[in-house]
Structure 1
Amino acid sequence: MMNLRIGEIPNNWLEEIINLSAERIVVVDRDGVICYINEAYCEFLETTVDKAMRQPVLDIIENSRMHIVAKTGQAEIAAVHKIKGSEMIANRFPLIVKGELVGAVGTVMFRNPEELHMYSGKIQHLVEELKYYKTKAEKNIKSKYHFSDLLGNSTSFLAVKTLAERISGSQSAALLLGESGTGKELFASAIHNNSIRSAFPFVPINCASIPEQLLESELFGYDDGAFTGAKKGGKKGQFQIANNGTIFLDEVGDMPLAMQSKLLRVLQEKEIQPVGGQKSIPVDVRIIAATHRDLEKMVEEGKFRQDLYYRLNVIKIEIPPLRERKGDIELISIKLLEKLEAKFHRKAVGLSTEVIERLELHSWPGNIRELENVLERCINVLDGTTIEIPHLPLYLRDQGLKSKNSQAMNPIGPEKIVPLPVLPLKEALAQVEKQSILNALVVTNGNKQEAAKLLEIGKTSFYEKCKFYDVR
């Protein structure tokens, strides 16, 4: 057996490796004369290596550009090359040795027209399959939630739910107001499912999560060649996909002013104009918008268009935060646990009485989303079937201690109040700030960008505070 040193391969091995490769290879010198061509290429060209060697490349390979690349030194990648009535994919590279242009190397990806046809057939099949599933997906954009999924018996919640059911048959725009995590998308979905548009798409869009430069093309689509990198044939926008149905614009308060004017035009004219397009496309959609921001204040500050605000605010629905419906926490928790049981393959998970009391003590700045995150955390550390106090996150366990301490302040009546230890104001504020950051990170499952939004501070400021308080 031949022993080879690293990096040492015999010439006859190299030639065999080239012949076994999928590509057909030809090498020419500066004058465009063939100085190497492999057998596979010659077989395709219906010639032999002996006949092709030392011949001008144009005499052997029709429509060749190898001699041009050998002169200019400019590579031609993935070029279409017609040979023997078939369009091949060719790559042509300048051959530079020790800084000098000495010739060119060319490859062709397909051995014969039949192979090209086979590849084309496979690709075409995949393209058709993709079109089928894309069309099917567009047709099956359905809202998942109904009014029966909106749980709560508190007076404030039932009033809002009743109003939402009453206006679901309307065609007017609706504006859902409420803090993050109160279930605005669930309400929008339920309104759609209870309307005459329920057989058509429900398309939710988070205006805050789409980069400003992409928002217009995402909402209104674009035409073929509208910009560099645009998909051939263009792309449908979400308004077209939602035609005859409902489009839900979540976090509409984060929409840039330039886009607000374009959205206003859609509401007024009931038509869209794709990016790069010359023709307007009529659309029939009901718009449900939502935000946790104070739009009236934003209008006063010039950050939100007044005319758009009035267009969206035809029907206003204010969803109460979880802290104003403490009596619903147990009912919502049980429903959320059913959902989490399926996700984590658990059964019959329950809550102890102490845990329910502790949950009702908390102020829930992250609302139902925070509650779901807390319960998910509990299931992850649960060793039985009942969630107990030790399974709760530390900040909820401390909630009970704070409550006990507040009771301990006045054990014998209002005249004998025993004050808690007093900290320097700067230290006390720092503790509160750090705890608020930790709470926000729990609510957002560690997502710092979302936590910064929840605290209504900038991302840079949030990261600086995390560094200062050693929060990772």
Structure 2
Amino acid sequence: MNVKNFIDEGGAIMNLFHEGVVIVDQRGTVLYVNEACSRITGIPKQELIGQYVKDVVSDTNILKVLQSGYPALDIPARAGDSVVISNIVPIYDETQQLLGAVSIFRDLTEILRLNHRLSEAENTIKDLQQKLSLADLADGNDMLIGNSPAMKKIVEISLKAARVDSTIMIEGESGTGKEMLARFIHNHSERAKQPFVAVNCASIPETLLESELFGYEEGAFSGARRGGKQGMFELADGGTLFLDELEDLTPSVQAKLLRVLQFKELIRVGGTKTKKVDVRIIGASNQSLEKLVKEKKFREDLYYRLNVVRVEIPALRERKEDIPLFVHHILKKMRHKLNKTVKKVHPDVIRHLLAYPFPGNVRELENILELAIIMDDNQVLDLADLPEHIASASSDSSPTIQLPTLREMEMSLIKEAVSKCKNKAEAAQMLGISRATLYRKMEAYGIS
């Protein structure tokens, strides 16, 4: 067999390769190049065939292979405008006479370009995650406002906790705003520009929870994704992982979580290698974990690891003086969501809201007001707009509270924002107004 026969038999197939192919005879004359070769090097096929290989690719290693008779693998070289990695092997006939050599090479420039695009995509994803976290914080401020001593104390503790990296345990009934408080802490911490990942442990089936949190390796179980999958801890690396409804963690997951807290490392499901992770944990529960520890339903050592800083959010019925402020904020939020404006809230609406116990807490209040705005047709919320079970609630038992005017509420909110923020620009952003408007209102209200 000669080189021509070799080309005739394999040329059609080699022309389909994504990699470049060059074949030379024993003197180094180019006999064949495929389409990919011209694409990668930028040199037309007709300018290559018949040429001495050294004249067209100055740093080629093909001649060394022809001289030594041995293959050369994973050899970097420059071909035209591209950097390539080549595998070059000699061609022998049946009598072991050297006939030439074939070089198969891939475009390293293209690989680097794809890696760069992948890196850019990852940076874009991180940027979007940060923007989403900041957007969620804007919504979350509704949950954290309030003039009640309890809420002022919670904000004070949270801002102090945000300055350190200790684990935090948030307890409170469903709907009190535990995730919003966790986002508030994250966005006031040194990790604010890193991911915030929230996981509701009760919403993930028990059989999948471990792999969702810690990830898994390829072949770890039937149906596992090829190449494995990152878990929530890896996705939150460098940032904050919020674990809600911790009481639903299985004993095995509790043990793995304890290891992460102790050693800052994890092992994927089906894996053997440890992976370092830098994640701040904020846990939450709507039950008393201390009680579950006594009942042997939750690990005591894990409880104390999580419970370095403890914050308990009171139920809305325990801080009813905050309801008028919540109403003001939620109406402002719904104006953008529903594209409907409410200019006035009838005092009877506030009285009936104060009389209602709100088993669903702030989340229920938000749902009630959203429905009321949808039902409203005159830009004034009155009893007819409220759900029947609220409108029929007796206001006789409601506590005697001096309801603030809109002016008083606005003044209180501006004072609170200015006291919490580093500067006026940040305060204006928190309030959703321009700096010029903030300065004008501060002057009107005599706020220094």
| TM value normalised by structure 1 | 0.57
* Structure-2 residue corresponding to 1:175: 169
RMSD: 3.1
Take 2:223 and 2:118, find their aligned partners in 1: how far apart are those partners? 20
Which of 302, 306, 312 in structure 2 is aligned with 1:308? 302
Take 2:205 and 2:343, find their aligned partners in 1: how far apart are those partners? 41
Is the 2:289–2:303 Cα contact (8 Å) retained in structure 1?
yes
Is the 2:344–2:380 Cα contact (8 Å) retained in structure 1?
yes
Per the TM alignment, residue 199 of structure 1 is displaced from its structure 2 partner at its CA by 1.6
Aligned residues: 293
Per the TM alignment, residue 133 of structure 1 is displaced from its structure 2 partner at its CA by 4.8
* Structure-2 residue corresponding to 1:252: 246
Letter in 1 for 2:124: K
* Structure-2 residue corresponding to 1:141: 129
Take 1:361 and 1:204, find their aligned partners in 2: how far apart are those partners? 33
Is the 2:342–2:381 Cα contact (8 Å) retained in structure 1?
no
Secondary structure of the residue aligned to 1:317 is strand
* Structure-2 residue corresponding to 1:417: none
User: Does residue 339 of structure 2 align to residue 345 of structure 1?
Assistant: yes
* Structure-1 residue corresponding to 2:234: 240
Per the TM alignment, residue 261 of structure 1 is displaced from its structure 2 partner at its CA by 0.9
Take 2:117 and 2:359, find their aligned partners in 1: how far apart are those partners? 46
Per the TM alignment, residue 342 of structure 1 is displaced from its structure 2 partner at its CA by 1.0
User: Quick one: structure 1 residues 212 and 329, their matched pair in 2 at CA, closer, same or farther if it must change by over 3 Å?
Assistant: same
* Structure-1 residue corresponding to 2:273: 279
* Structure-1 residue corresponding to 2:185: 191
Take 2:194 and 2:161, find their aligned partners in 1: how far apart are those partners? 18
Secondary structure of the residue aligned to 2:311 is strand
User: Does residue 157 of structure 2 align to residue 159 of structure 1?
Assistant: no
Secondary structure of the residue aligned to 1:140 is helix
Letter in 2 for 1:137: I
Per the TM alignment, residue 345 of structure 1 is displaced from its structure 2 partner at its CA by 1.1
Letter in 1 for 2:236: A
Per the TM alignment, residue 134 of structure 1 is displaced from its structure 2 partner at its CA by 5.9
Is the 1:181–1:369 Cα contact (8 Å) retained in structure 2?
yes
Gaps spanning 5+ residues in structure 1: where?
Answer: 1-61, 63-81, 88-112, 115-123, 408-472
Per the TM alignment, residue 371 of structure 1 is displaced from its structure 2 partner at its CA by 0.2
Per the TM alignment, residue 332 of structure 1 is displaced from its structure 2 partner at its CA by 0.7
User: Quick one: structure 1 residues 291 and 373, their matched pair in 2 at CA, closer, same or farther if it must change by over 3 Å?
Assistant: same
Which of 219, 223, 247 in structure 1 is aligned with 2:217? 223
Gaps spanning 5+ residues in structure 2: where?
Answer: 1-8, 18-34, 37-110, 399-448
Matches within 5 A, 1:20-419: 133=121, 136-142=124-130, 143-144=133-134, 145=137, 150-400=144-394, 403=395
Q: What is the identity percentage for the equivalent residue pairs of Structure 1 and Structure 2?
A: 46
Is the 2:126–2:194 Cα contact (8 Å) retained in structure 1?
no
* Structure-2 residue corresponding to 1:21: none
Over residues 109-134 of structure 1, what are the superposed CA-to-partner deviations in whole Å (9 max), with x where a residue is unaligned? Answer: xxxx99xxxxxxxxx99999899656
Is the 2:342–2:373 Cα contact (8 Å) retained in structure 1?
no
Per the TM alignment, residue 180 of structure 1 is displaced from its structure 2 partner at its CA by 0.5
Letter in 2 for 1:309: Y
| TM value normalised by structure 2 | 0.60
Over residues 347-390 of structure 1, what are the superposed CA-to-partner deviations in whole Å (9 max), with x where a residue is unaligned? Answer: 24432111011111111110000001101111121112111101
